Homo-oligomer: A and B are copies of this chain.
Amino acid sequence: MIKIAVLGYGTVGSGVVELIERNGALLKERAGEEIVIKYILDLRDFPGDPYEDKIIHDYGTILEDSQISILCEVMGGVGAAYRFTKQALEAGKSVCTSNKELVAKHGAELLAIAERMHCNYMFEASVAGGIPIIRTINSVLLADRVESVTGILNGTTNYILTKMEKENADYGEVLRQAQELGYAERNPEADVEGLDAGRKIAILADMLTGKNVDPDKIATEGISKITTADFACAKAAGMTIKLLARCSVSEDGSACVRVAPYMLALEHPLGRVDDVFNGIQVTCGMLGDALFGGKGAGKLPTASAVAADVMDCAMHPGKTVMRAWSEEAAVMGDMTEMKSRFFVRTKASARDAVLEAFAGSTPVTAEGAEDAGFFTPAMREREFQAICSQLGDAVLNRIRLL
- Residue contact B136 to A132, C-beta cutoff 8 Å: yes
- Residue contact B140 to A308, C-beta cutoff 8 Å: yes
A238 to B300, CA, bound (A): 32
- Which of B140, B143, B298 is close to A139, meaning CB atoms less than 8 Å apart? B140
- Residue contact B290 to A294, C-beta cutoff 8 Å: yes
* Copies of this chain in the oligomer: 2
- Which of B26, B269, B288, B304 is close to A295, meaning CB atoms less than 8 Å apart? B288
A130 within 8 A of B: yes
Interface centre among A135, A269, A287, A298 (most CB of B within 10 A): A287
CB-CB under 8 A from A284, the residues of chain B are: 304
A64 within 8 A of B: no
- Residue contact A139 to B136, C-beta cutoff 8 Å: no
Select the stretch in A47-55, A211-219, A310-318, A378-386 that faces chain B: A310-318
Q: Report the nearest B residue to A294, measured CB to CB.
A: B290
Chain A, range 102-135, C-beta contacts under 8 Å to B: 130-132, 135
CB-CB under 8 A from A279, the residues of chain B are: 291
A301 within 8 A of B: yes
A289 to B296, CA, bound (A): 11
CB-CB under 8 A from A304, the residues of chain B are: 141, 143-144, 284, 286-287
- Residue contact A144 to B290, C-beta cutoff 8 Å: no
- Between A and B, 21 residue pairs with Cβ closer than 8 Å are A23-B144, A30-B323, A132-B140, A142-B311, A142-B312, A142-B315, A143-B307, A144-B308, A267-B272, A269-B272, A279-B291, A286-B300, A287-B294, A287-B301, A288-B294, A288-B301, A290-B294, A290-B295, A291-B291, A291-B293, A292-B293
Give A residues with C-beta under 8 Å from B. 19, 22-23, 26-27, 30, 130-132, 135-136, 139-145, 267, 269, 272, 279, 284-295, 298, 300-301, 303-305, 307-308, 310-312, 315, 323
